[in-house]
Structure 1
Amino acid sequence: MATDRAWAATRKGLFELRLRGASWQVENLSFTADPVTMLLPPDASGHMLAGLNLGHFGAKLQASDDAGQTWREVAAPSFPPQPDGAEGPAWKLEQVFALERAGDAIWCGSVPGGLFVSHDRGESWQLAEALWRDPRRTEWMGGGNPNPALHSICPHPTQPQELLIGVSCGGAWRTTDGGASWALRAKGMRADFMPPELAGDENSQDPHLIARCRDAPEVLWCQHHCGIFRSTDNGASWDELQAQPSSFGFAVAAHPREPGTAWFAPAIKDERRIPVDAALCVTRTRDGGKTFDVLRNGLPQQHCYDLIYRHGLAVDDTGEQLIMGSTTGGLWASGDGGDSWQTVSAHLPPIYAVKFG
């Protein structure tokens, strides 16, 4: 059954969206005028989380027990005291950048590259010490952020102690024991911003987002700073794919049932970061990346400078509906796998993340 509710986290609040008939409508607004950087959609009981970045007042976390009707502040993840002379960025939470459920746990990724876990629905958090204290972590670099950003958390759907994460710039890592130990999983990725002899260094890769196929969990998709990559062996190795009009972008959505299907939001890389030819499109592959469809129907094709952030493209649990939000407040929805799009709004604040829920 198709999902009839979604959420858009924006620079000026959290918007709830409802599917009314054949059209999505913007309805409730929470945290008016506050930047909402990430959300965890409600579970069956109505519990959900929202990460806020309040500037001078810092990164905050809010919880709801009634699917977003009311909210209460809970303790945000925090780092332990930083030892004198510790390498790397300051041990201070700058942003909640990822939130995912895995069994009875909730995982949180942050800037500056921290990973936290909660076993009480977000009321308290513990730092994943083994990853944070791994000496290779101090080699991570900032990508779009000055400091490293842990943006992707891909739980294994049948093994709650296993998850794969993505870091800009720190590659992909996997744990199979709930975070007690970690191994790099970025072999085959290519970082052309590094010296040639280090382009394949797994710990220097800049995955922009990694997504897993729910029903074929060995299949992972990565929109990387330097292209599109796919793994069919649970991240042990990655193959680069070529797409037109561009293989650069930030977002990727993996079909939950079809391991050969994924969607991307291409752009011109580096200095420009706008749609190719100022015309917005979504690319879709249905054959594991051998070929790509370029989907434009219903999307702006002239004077369009919208960029889709990492978490700005989502697919629902049926694999039929998509929603996409942009840096200039454009919000679009598709009910046919991306073949056609409807404008939900052209005037929202800049959109950081969209989620079905």
Structure 2
Amino acid sequence: MSDRLLVSTRKGLFVFAAKSDAWEIERHAFLGENVTLALADARDGHWYAVLNLGHFGVKLHRSADLGRNWTEIAVPAYAEGDTCATGDGKPPAPAKLQLLWSLACGGAGEPGRLWAGTIPGGLFRSDDRGDSWQLVRALWDRPERSQWFGGGYDAPGIHSICVDPRDARVLRVAISCGGVWHSADSGASWNVTTRGMFAAYMPPERREDPAIQDPHRLVQCAHAPDHLWVQHHNGVFRSVDGGRQWHEVADVPPSVFGFAVAVHPRDPATAWFVPALKDECRVPVDGRLVVARTRDGGASFELLRDGLPSHAYDLVYRHGLAVDDSGDRLAFGSTTGGLWTSPDQGERWRASQTRLPPVHAVAFARAAA
């Protein structure tokens, strides 16, 4: 069971330790700096923290001692001549790292391997714990990339990376806006897998165009990795065959709009969402903060609100909701600095007594295997 919670915020990384049913701050790092993402690698115990320092650019740090000390390491970089199109008719511009939007560990038999997704839509691989990075050109050079465009950002970006625990050569990535892509050979070749998805924001003739779908977040069940969930811009979609076919999950209460999704690590039919009203008004429906849970693959939902505020206007980002490897503990953080944890799959929620800066991401951490 995870015993640390890493909370990435606009003004630092906060490390919470489990104390019975409560979580208390154990330490913090990068105080005052914009930490956008953190990753705990259970294979060797290393932690990674991504910083976005504006004028000073994107930085990546690594810790080998549970966040007590950090070392700056390399960040993914584009080569001279690499260009990025934004899908809006503008001419391609030089590709430059704007955001390191996702980090994922390689397989159990791939020590040191990491994957990183970036804005403007590049996937990078490291085989030395982030000391160096290589652009996965097989995806970058796909002709469809010229059709990708930004969702909330001006340029497209890779925000979700799923590595199949049965076979680490199998990768799936989700792109806003560029669909879901699959590789069976460690990134040497790719195919788009969005059949069944639709984009309600596009003209009818492009509604099912795979290259312009906007998945907000992609997650896979750890013990049944062919079972995938996507919180899409205009709905929720589920696949039970590794993404070959997607099925819309209709009538998610109180709204199908949102950014975050988490799936139980052993039960692929159980998933959680934090809905918002709509794209044009990113607040909870009726000002009531709730978590929607399904236990039957989306056939029905429960609204979990015990311990959550009845008057709130919090938004939860893509990486702001997490479930630990027990499947029982949940946590989510909001854009207004709220942090809530649950010990029982969301039945009861407890608010942190610490008033945090805006939360970008939460991640559970456990001791190395």
Amino acid at match of 2:45: G
Task: Specify the alignment match of 1:319 in structure 2.
Answer: 327
- Measure the CA separation in 2 of the matches of 1:166 and 1:345: 34
Offset at residue 63 of structure 1 (A): 1.0
Consecutive unaligned residues in structure 2, runs of 5 or more: 86-90
- 1:18–1:26 Cα contact (<8 Å) kept: yes
- Measure the CA separation in 2 of the matches of 1:89 and 1:287: 46
**Structure 1 residue matching 2:115: 3-state secondary structure:** strand
Check if 1:259 corresponds to 2:258: no
Offset at residue 27 of structure 1 (A): 2.3
Check if 1:293 corresponds to 2:293: no
Alignment of 1:91-130 (within 5 A): 91-103=95-107, 104=110, 105-130=113-138
Alignment of 1:75-86 (within 5 A): 75-82=74-81
**Structure 1 residue matching 2:139: 3-state secondary structure:** helix
Does the C-alpha gap of structure 1 residues 265 and 36 become closer, same or farther in structure 2, counting only changes over 3 Å? same
Count of aligned pairs between the two proteins: 355
Task: Specify the alignment match of 1:41 in structure 2.
Answer: 40
- Measure the CA separation in 1 of the matches of 2:138 and 2:151: 23
User: Among 223, 233, 238, which residue is 2:241 paired with?
Assistant: 233
Offset at residue 84 of structure 1 (A): 7.9
Amino acid at match of 1:277: D
User: Any idea what the Cα deviations from partners look like across 1:1-42, whole Å, max 9, x if unmatched?
Assistant: x32211000110000011112211122110011111111114
Offset at residue 85 of structure 1 (A): 9.7
Amino acid at match of 1:247: V
Check if 1:245 corresponds to 2:249: no
- Measure the CA separation in 2 of the matches of 1:264 and 1:317: 17
Consecutive unaligned residues in structure 1, runs of 5 or more: none
Amino acid at match of 1:249: G
- Measured on the aligned residues, the alpha-carbon RMSD in Å equals 1.3
Alignment of 1:95-174 (within 5 A): 95-103=99-107, 104=110, 105-174=113-182
- 1:89–1:112 Cα contact (<8 Å) kept: no
Offset at residue 320 of structure 1 (A): 0.3
Alignment of 1:264-343 (within 5 A): 264-302=273-311, 304-343=312-351
TM-score by length of 1: 0.97
After the TM superposition, which of the residue ranges 36-45 and 146-155 deviates more from structure 2? 36-45
Check if 1:11 corresponds to 2:10: yes
- Measure the CA separation in 1 of the matches of 2:299 and 2:261: 16
- 1:249–1:265 Cα contact (<8 Å) kept: yes
- Measure the CA separation in 2 of the matches of 1:297 and 1:85: 46
**Structure 1 residue matching 2:211: 3-state secondary structure:** helix
TM-score by length of 2: 0.94
**Structure 2 residue matching 1:219: 3-state secondary structure:** strand
- 2:83–2:92 Cα contact (<8 Å) kept: no
User: Among 224, 228, 234, which residue is 2:232 paired with?
Assistant: 224
- Measure the CA separation in 1 of the matches of 2:40 and 2:273: 22
- Measure the CA separation in 2 of the matches of 1:296 and 1:46: 34
- Measure the CA separation in 1 of the matches of 2:155 and 2:131: 26
- 2:262–2:321 Cα contact (<8 Å) kept: yes
**Structure 1 residue matching 2:352: 3-state secondary structure:** strand
Amino acid at match of 2:78: F
User: Any idea what the Cα deviations from partners look like across 1:266-318, whole Å, max 9, x if unmatched?
Assistant: 0011111000001100000000000011101000111x110000000000001
- Measure the CA separation in 1 of the matches of 2:230 and 2:301: 15
Offset at residue 56 of structure 1 (A): 0.2
Check if 1:22 corresponds to 2:26: no
